[in-house]
């Protein structure tokens, strides 16, 4: 059995330490108030037994709480007081310096929580450690100085989650839609160097990767680019290549035909497209930003975004090559083709590609083949998005999310034109709905009372995010604010104007709707009463964001939080506060956003249809998924799911599996098993390999693919997923 120390390091549970600590407290009281050695031994045994039954790694604080309870059970009240006083004094000592132990544990690579905090960061790498170390300092300053104490306390107790506190001390925002079109067409500046409009597709791709890296180092969330913004450079390359081909052929034969010139031109153009797309894929995978990971970038593929038919055809060429290369994958250090995490791909389903006989059906079939093998692309339905995203003029719009799921709200600029690229999200605060449900103890009046209190708490936390960005100078991140990624402000100009009026968003996140509803009425979201209450809660959340927006002219938006490590934290906090409640806190994770619980048997089509109703009430971002088996030999079924997505839900994905064991060459599913301590570990079913450094595991966790490993809560959630197809 393991316990997690305050530094985050995971160590083996040692009951002797309990005996020593209680003995010290026991010896400090008068003899008549002391316990016997047998009583002290029994306390240690009872704590060990209780801890083992919880079936997860407990924190030192949780163990000490259990020790207190056992001392009280022995009616040794004076000893208990001394033990509590000792804990309090030690807490005061720790409060005077809250970062040293954390930083040292990071450097020595024995911080278990940090190891599993981000499934796409390797904490043994110096650059990642440097980012985590800076993050510890930022979190310390944030908790002690920058945030109100009640918000910090609520965050620590798992009532809310104040996201990305490790970046809050700096004037940084969350995620954005990069205005790649502006930067390529009008030029930009990177590291003080002027970059003019490129004269070929391959150069445009190279510049795009440099922009991606620079943007990733200036904010902490996801970013998205559109392949449409690269499409005009295909024809620029075509014309340049044609001139070269004409000159070459005329040197050989003056009677060369236009058809011959066209054929050779297109062949060379396709070679350039192949090289340009390869450059984007390999640059994104191999680049390392200042936060120690590959850029979290999403690539958007939307045919109807093209400005004319020629551009649309050229865009189709880029999309086709992008899908082909992702299907192939990238080679790992052993030379084996594997699934990369980034860039994340989004493919828009539209009238021109959704059914056999449509002009671009061949692209959709290729996308299905790629999804079956590599888990991407994900899918946006143009049809449903045009219904859901309507601006103040009554027009619907289709556009990409920022990263994995954070969507901007519809916006019309001062000239009455819709605008999405160049906009951003200020940050996220998530409410733990399960805690509200359990706190109400099945009393609906009390539930709504606590709900109101938590909303006000979240509101003040979101205001803190907004206020932290207020006054930020464009000089803080020139690539973003001065050179076109988001805006083209002057030096010394603030970004304040763009924090208001709907240009950017603030996200009220929510988690655990499934468990919240069950805790209140013992019904699932898949049951009529549960669904009705779930929708009622979602509508109430939207009422709050609308109220705040109207009062402050700031675009608050409801967001289905992609919990990764926080799902475990919330679960631990709930178990500590409420114990084990069947079907609510009996897992080491809680359910993301509005999702149907991972263990619930439900058909893929029924799941998507049900979740579509909830997704429509999550305008700040959400994604649904279906868990499927190996579909490489059943592409018709994949296409059927994609067509259902087009007709029923705005944004969804299919979760497959893509693993490889470097020890024996197994390329099937690597499984999750329990070791002798009850810890969940990844195990090759073919050779028994459990060394995570000698296997490649790719799983979708939060709308994006993770390729490192996850904490015990998320690992349990992955293990318990049922198939929907």
Determine which helix (DSSP H) or strand (DSSP E) holds 510, and give its type and residue range: strand 505-511
Q: Which of 1, 175, 650, 702 is catalytic?
A: 175
**How far, rounded to the nearest angstrom, does the alpha carbon of residue 230 sit from its chain's CA centroid?**
26
Q: Which residues contact 339 (CB under 8 A, 6 or more apart)?
A: 329, 373, 374, 375, 658, 696, 698, 705, 707
Q: Which of 305, 564, 653, 717 is catalytic?
A: 564
State the Cα–Cα distance between residues 561 and 431, nearest whole angstrom. 9
Q: Which of 703, 704, 711, 717 is catalytic?
A: 703
Phi, psi (rounded to 5 degrees) for 427: 155, 175
Nearest to 487 by CA among 215, 206, 210, 284: 215
With b for 16 or more beta-carbon neighbours within 10 A and e for fewer, the 504-525 pattern comes to bbbbbbbbbbbbbbbbbeebbb
Instruction: For residue 175, indicate whether it is catalytic.
Output: yes
Q: Which of 404, 455, 538, 695 is catalytic?
A: 404
Q: Do the beta carbons of residue 233 and residue 183 sit within 8 Å?
A: no
Cis? peptide before 377, omega within 30° of 0: yes
Count of alpha carbons within 13 angstroms of residue 62, beta-carbon side: 23
Lookup: tokens for 570: 């919330």
Q: Which of 205, 402, 631, 650 is catalytic?
A: 402
Q: Which of 105, 118, 237, 406 is catalytic?
A: 406
Instruction: For residue 53, indicate whether it is catalytic.
Output: no
Q: Which of 7, 226, 291, 425 is catalytic?
A: 425
State the Cα–Cα distance between residues 640 and 505, nearest whole angstrom. 35
Instruction: For residue 564, indicate whether it is catalytic.
Output: yes
Q: Do the beta carbons of residue 610 and residue 525 sit within 8 Å?
A: yes
Q: Do the beta carbons of residue 234 and residue 276 sit within 8 Å?
A: no
Instruction: For residue 174, indicate whether it is catalytic.
Output: yes
Alpha helices, DSSP H, located in 1-57? 15-27, 37-54
Instruction: For residue 279, indicate whether it is catalytic.
Output: no
Instruction: For residue 621, indicate whether it is catalytic.
Output: no
Cis? peptide before 145, omega within 30° of 0: no
Determine which helix (DSSP H) or strand (DSSP E) holds 300, and give its type and residue range: strand 297-301
Q: Do the beta carbons of residue 264 and residue 440 sit within 8 Å?
A: no
Q: Which of 118, 174, 432, 565 is catalytic?
A: 174
Q: Do the beta carbons of residue 403 and residue 484 sit within 8 Å?
A: no
- β-strand 658-661 against 695-700: which pairing, if any? antiparallel
State the Cα–Cα distance between residues 336 and 332, nearest whole angstrom. 5
Distances (CA, A) of 329 to 311, 325, 459, 722: 27, 6, 43, 26
SS3 160: strand
Instruction: For residue 122, indicate whether it is catalytic.
Output: no
Instruction: For residue 559, indicate whether it is catalytic.
Output: yes
Q: Which residues contact 484 (CB under 8 A, 6 or more apart)?
A: 179, 182, 183, 186, 188, 422
Q: Which of 559, 625, 651, 660 is catalytic?
A: 559
> Which residues are annotated as catalytic?
174-175, 402, 404, 406, 425, 559, 564, 703
């Amino acid at each position: 059995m393991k316990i997690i120390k305050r530094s985050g390091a995971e160590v083996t549970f040692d009951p002797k330490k309990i005996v020593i600590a209680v003995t010290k407290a026991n010896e400090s009281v008068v003899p008549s108030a002391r316990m016997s050695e047998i009583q002290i031994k029994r306390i240690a045994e009872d704590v060990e037994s209780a801890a083992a039954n919880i079936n997860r790694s407990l924190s030192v604080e949780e163990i000490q709480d259990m020790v207190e309870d056992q001392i009280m059970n022995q009616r040794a009240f004076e000893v208990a007081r001394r033990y509590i006083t000792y804990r309090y004094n030690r807490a005061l000592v720790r409060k005077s310096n809250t970062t040293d132990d954390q930083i040292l544990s990071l450097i020595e690579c024995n911080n278990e929580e940090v190891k599993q905090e981000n499934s796409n960061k390797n904490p043994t790498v110096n650059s990642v450690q440097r980012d985590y170390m800076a993050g510890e300092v930022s979190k310390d300053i944030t908790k002690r100085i920058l945030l109100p104490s009640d918000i910090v306390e609520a965050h620590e107790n798992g009532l809310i989650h104040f996201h990305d506190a490790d970046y809050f001390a700096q004037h940084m925002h969350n995620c954005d839609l990069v205005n790649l079109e502006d930067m390529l067409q009008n030029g930009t500046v990177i590291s003080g160097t002027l970059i003019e409009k490129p004269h070929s597709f391959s150069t445009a791709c190279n510049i795009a990767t440099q922009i991606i890296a620079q943007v990733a180092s200036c904010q902490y969330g996801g970013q998205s680019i559109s392949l449409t913004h690269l499409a005009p450079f295909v024809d620029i390359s075509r014309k340049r290549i044609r001139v070269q081909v004409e000159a070459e052929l005329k040197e050989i034969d003056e009677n060369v035909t236009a058809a011959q010139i066209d054929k050779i031109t297109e062949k060379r153009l396709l070679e350039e497209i192949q090289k340009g797309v390869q450059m984007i894929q390999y640059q994104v995978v191999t680049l390392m930003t200042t936060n120690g990971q590959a850029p979290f970038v999403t690539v958007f593929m939307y045919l109807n975004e093209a400005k004319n038919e020629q551009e649309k055809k050229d865009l189709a060429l880029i999309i086709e090559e992008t899908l082909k290369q992702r299907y192939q994958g990238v080679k790992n250090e052993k030379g084996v083709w594997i699934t990369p995490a980034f860039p994340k791909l989004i493919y828009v389903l539209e009238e021109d590609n959704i059914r056999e006989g449509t002009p671009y059906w061949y692209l959709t079939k290729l996308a299905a083949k790629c999804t079956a093998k590599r888990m991407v692309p994900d899918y946006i339905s143009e049809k449903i998005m045009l219904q859901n995203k309507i601006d103040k003029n009554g027009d619907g719009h289709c556009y990409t999310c920022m990263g994995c799921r954070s969507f901007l709200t519809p916006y019309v600029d001062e000239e009455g034109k819709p605008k999405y690229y160049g906009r951003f999200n200020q940050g996220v605060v998530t409410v733990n709905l399960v805690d509200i449900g359990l706190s109400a103890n099945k009393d609906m009046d009390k539930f709504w009372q606590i709900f109101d209190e938590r909303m006000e708490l979240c509101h003040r936390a979101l205001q803190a995010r907004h206020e932290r960005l207020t006054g930020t100078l464009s000089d803080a991140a020139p690539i973003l604010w001065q050179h076109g990624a988001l805006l083209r402000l002057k030096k010394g100009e603030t970004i304040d104007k763009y924090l208001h009026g709907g240009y950017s968003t603030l996200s009220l996140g929510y988690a655990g709707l499934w468990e919240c509803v069950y805790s209140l009425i013992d019904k699932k979201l898949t049951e009529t009463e549960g669904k009705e209450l779930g929708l009622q809660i979602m509508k109430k959340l939207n009422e709050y964001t609308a109220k705040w927006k109207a009062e402050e002219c700031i675009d608050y938006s409801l967001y289905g939080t992609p919990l990764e490590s926080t799902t475990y934290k919330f679960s631990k906090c709930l178990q500590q506060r409420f114990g084990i409640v069947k079907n609510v806190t009996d897992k080491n994770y809680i359910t993301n956003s509005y999702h149907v619980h991972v263990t619930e048997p439900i058909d893929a089509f029924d799941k998507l249809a049900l979740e579509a109703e909830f997704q429509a009430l999550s305008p700040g971002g959400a994604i649904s998924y279906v868990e499927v088996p190996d579909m490489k030999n059943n592409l018709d079924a994949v296409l059927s799911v994609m067509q259902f997505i087009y007709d029923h839900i705005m944004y969804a994905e299919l979760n497959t599996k893509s693993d490889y064991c470097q020890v024996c060459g197994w390329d099937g599913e690597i499984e999750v098993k329990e070791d002798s301590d009850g810890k969940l570990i990844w195990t090759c079913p073919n050779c028994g390999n459990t060394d995570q450094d000698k296997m490649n595991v790719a799983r979708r966790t939060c709308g994006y693919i993770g390729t490192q490993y996850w904490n015990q809560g998320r690992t349990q959630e992955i293990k318990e997923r049922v198939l929907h197809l």
